[in-house]
Amino acid sequence: MTTGWTGVFPAVTTQFNEDFSVDLNATQGVQDALVNDGVNGLIVMGTCGENNSLDPEEKRTILKAAVEVVNGRVPVVTGVSEFDTRRAVAYAKDAEKLGADGLMVLPAMVYVPKPEELVAHFKAVAEATSLPIMLYNNPPAYRVNIGVDVLRQLEDVPNIKAVKESAPDPRRFTDLINVFGDRFDIFAGLDDVALEGLLLGAKGWVSGLTSAFPRESVALVAAAERGDWEEARSIYRWFMPLLHLDAEHDLVQSIKLAEQIMGRGSERVRMPRMPLSGARRAEVTAMVEKAAATRPTLSRKAA
């Protein structure tokens, strides 16, 4: 039942030209650089990829380009974030044809479903594809919880294999494992609860700030995997001020600004998002610059 996915899966950003059209070359450049820095997989067109700001054809073009540039080096998992089930099913079918290795499926956007509607949505997408599916649970953002009651009704769907857990309560990791054992691969999905998730049995980390500091992110997970909690805590404590940004409403702008400061991408975002400005921009800039100036020395094993 396992996905076989472990380690760091950054939620990569989508890069835009000055006219806010998709910059495919720059987007591929961001993806390629992350793979070269040692990440274990890519999540394309999740929240940080501005999925809901993209046209249907843009999504398919971006996914095709990601599969092309990654060229099988790591799994490419694409976000399925649509306004209704019909469009989610259509995208899932196309994603499989375009060579995606898996899907990260969100509840339908805007409408807050009842549990039975949530189950029906996920089952419909799963039935449309043979790809392995990671469900994305983020109650603060999407106002619905993929609880034990929902997962029990999905337990017998063979290609629903993983859960990205972004509830800010680390007890969720233990509760899910206690109920389901190893039926679902659990991934930490909130940056500032990542180490807690890894300690409690998460198979990996779907990360935002990895886009700016990939080597430290890979080293953090590697340290946790080998039980070197002293090194893991050291990296985590250094990283934590930035990791808190992942829990804020302006996480996409903050992460893209961090990428730009670190020379890894552009801060351009599509409206209604706008780049950070004023005191908030100065605050995030100072945080990133401090992190860059105080980067931890990674052990050879971690690096």
Buried b (16+ CB within 10 A) or exposed e, 113-151: beeeebbebbeebbebbebbbbbbbbeeebebbbbeebb
The proportion of the chain whose per-residue pLDDT surpasses 90, expressed as a percent, equals: 92
Taking the CA atoms of residue 97, residue 100, residue 104 and residue 108 in that order, the dihedral angle to the nearest 10 degrees is: -30
How far is 265 from 295, CA to CA, in rounded Å?
Answer: 19
Q: Is residue 236 annotated as part of the catalytic site, yes or no?
A: no
Provide the mean pLDDT of the chain.
96
How far is 301 from 255, CA to CA, in rounded Å?
Answer: 27
pLDDT at site 301: 61
Q: Is residue 142 annotated as part of the catalytic site, yes or no?
A: no
- Which of 91, 142, 161, 164 is catalytic? The answer is 164
- C-beta separation of 243 from 226 below 8 A: no
| Confidence grade of residue 143 (pLDDT, cut at 50, 70, 90) | confident
Q: What is the pLDDT of residues 181-203, one digit of tens each?
A: 999 999 999 999 999 999 999 99
Pick from 241, 87, 208, 229: nearest CA to 141:
208
pLDDT above 60 for 81: yes
- On whether the pTM is more than 0.85, the answer is yes
- Find all residues with CB under 8 Å of 232, minimum gap 6, and list them: 195, 198, 220, 223, 224
pLDDT at site 72: 97
Q: Is 276 helix (H, G, I), strand (E, B) or coil?
A: coil
Q: Give the dihedral sign, CA 143/148/154/159.
A: positive
Q: What is the pLDDT of residues 41-64, one digit of tens each?
A: 999 999 999 999 999 999 999 999
DSSP 73: S
pLDDT above 70 for 302: no
- Which of 59, 91, 136, 236 is catalytic? The answer is 136
**What is the token pair recorded at 11?**
């939620």
Angle at the Cα of 128 (from 127 to 132), degrees rounded to 5?
Answer: 75
pLDDT at site 2: 75
How far is 252 from 245, CA to CA, in rounded Å?
Answer: 9
Q: Please tell me which residue, 283 or 143, carries the higher pLDDT value.
A: 283
Q: What is the pLDDT of residues 223-271, one digit of tens each?
A: 999 999 999 999 999 999 999 999 999 999 999 999 999 999 999 999 9
User: For 38, left (φ over 0), alpha (ψ -120 to 50), or beta?
Assistant: left
| Confidence grade of residue 110 (pLDDT, cut at 50, 70, 90) | confident
